[in-house]
């Protein structure tokens, strides 16, 4: 069997424990996962031996994160990101705490 180099897929594994690739981490990041913990929740990467967490942090870098950008603007990041933009998030005041 001959392998066509144009069709060959190179998989760089970030997490050997769960077989998570660099491309998968990048895709989860594009979909909104901004932290290693969020990557772990969608892929399990980093939840076994933990040796890949630094590499995941490196892949995430300081790039654009929808939630981070909203938080920096003083807007309710979680509400807007999760599709709850039309619903106000109650403010916590000193009296309520």
For 4-23, write each residue's pLDDT tens digit: 666 666 789 999 999 999 99
pTM of the model: 0.59
pLDDT on residue 24: 95
13, two tokens: 């594994």
Q: Which ranges of the chain does DSSP label H, i.e. alpha helix?
A: 22-30, 36-43, 53-60, 66-72, 77-81
pLDDT the model gives residue 49: 96
- pLDDT digits 0-9 by tens, 31-66: 888 899 999 999 999 999 999 999 999 999 866 565
- Count how many residues are written for the chain: 97
Structure tokens at 20: 């998570």
Q: Per-residue confidence at 80, pLDDT binned at 50, 70, 90? A: very low
């Amino acid at each position: 069997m001959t392998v066509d180099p144009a069709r060959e897929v190179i998989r760089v594994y970030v997490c050997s424990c769960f077989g998570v690739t660099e491309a998968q981490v990048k895709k989860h990041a594009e979909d909104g996962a901004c932290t290693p913990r969020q990557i772990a929740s969608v892929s399990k990467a980093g939840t076994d031996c933990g040796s890949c967490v630094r590499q995941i942090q490196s892949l995430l870098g300081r790039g654009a994160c929808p939630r981070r950008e909203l938080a920096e603007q003083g807007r309710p990041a979680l509400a807007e990101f999760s599709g709850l933009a039309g619903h106000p998030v109650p403010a916590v005041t000193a009296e309520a705490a």
